[in-house]
Amino acid sequence: MKKTILLFFFALVYTNTFAQKDFQGMAVYESKTSTSDFKARFEGNKSITPDMQKMMEERMKKMFEKTFVLNFDKSASIYKEEEKLEASNQGGGFRMMSSMTGGGGTYYKNVKDKTYSVDKDFMGKEFLVKDSLASFNWKMEAETRVIGGYTCYKATAVKAASKTDFRNFRPKKEEAAQKDSPKKEETAQQEKPKEAPKTSFMDALELPKEITITAWYTPEIPVSQGPEGYWGLPGLILEVNDGKTIILCSKVVLNPKEKTEIKAPSKGKTVSQNEYDEIVVKKMEEFREMNQGRSGGGGFQIRMGQ
């Protein structure tokens, strides 16, 4: 009898929490992308000194390890990188790369209208990307785990890799195979005519067509929200993993004392996602061609601190 009353009490509190008209929640996420692929490229480049390698690794850590805050209500959310004092001192190149590794701008999602908008600062120009939310064909799994005290369920989906998200790039498969079989590589080099050396860091990378996503969501927080552009599950997504990048929730606060205004950004030239992608890809190709002429054998020349 006591147990039944206790369960009823918790159910009542739970229902009242999310039934409030002004319900709001806040979640903090830690995002980390594996950089081992890039470090391997540095180690094999004789033109990069140990000091240069250390500096590049430190800057990559700042780009690929970030903290974000998601403020959400029943239908909308804003997802933004936590502001750091050192970030404000970085130049345009660093900000550009930051926006291509998940940071920069305010990401607004409206799951009721199935739309999103995000303001981006790219090459000194402000863009307002507005489009429809991507539809994830989630496969619901029976596996469960506990994250931050919440029981979470596993769901998987496959999505197309974004050309403007640097985290999606991988080392070229043939290079990985040659690394595993040095003898075969040596034989192949003897049989085939020598090719011109690669002159750009980007030449060693490729973009997969699709990426498998693993998400962990909790029905205990029944909002169809999550970090970045992830949504569409019957509960808040507390972790997302695509094999290279892990976005993990480290803190959740329901109905915080200080409310945050959840509204879409409005500054910048309005473009669709495809239009923005075309602009970025074109500019990156220009960088690539410029680097090929300057590096003379292999550096990654985009400046990230001036």
Round to whole Å and give the CA distance between 249 and 246. Answer: 10
**Residue of 131, 72, 78 lying closest to 272 (CA atoms):** 131
**Count of residues for the chain?**
306
Q: What is the pLDDT of residues 148-160, one digit of tens each?
A: 999 999 999 999 8
Phi and psi (nearest 5°) for 254?
-100, 135
Among 7-11, 163-167, 170-174, where is mean pLDDT lowest? 7-11
Average model confidence (pLDDT) for the chain?
A: 76
Q: Note the pTM of the prediction, 2 decimals.
A: 0.73
Task: Please enumerate in sequence order all residues whose Cβ is within 8 A of that of 235, keeping only pairs 6 or more positions apart, or say none.
Answer: 152, 153, 217, 218, 219, 220, 221, 222, 223, 224
Averaged pLDDT for residues 30-34: 88
- How many angstroms separate the Cα of 296 from the Cα of each of 7, 39, 185? 70, 20, 23
Which has the higher per-residue pLDDT, 285 or 5? 285
Phi and psi (nearest 5°) for 64?
-105, 0
What pLDDT sits at residue 216?
A: 98
Q: What is the pLDDT of residues 208-259, one digit of tens each?
A: 788 899 999 999 999 999 999 999 999 999 999 988 899 999 999 999 998 9
Domain boundaries, the chain: 22-295
- How many angstroms separate the Cα of 9 from the Cα of each of 4, 5, 145, 149? 9, 6, 25, 19
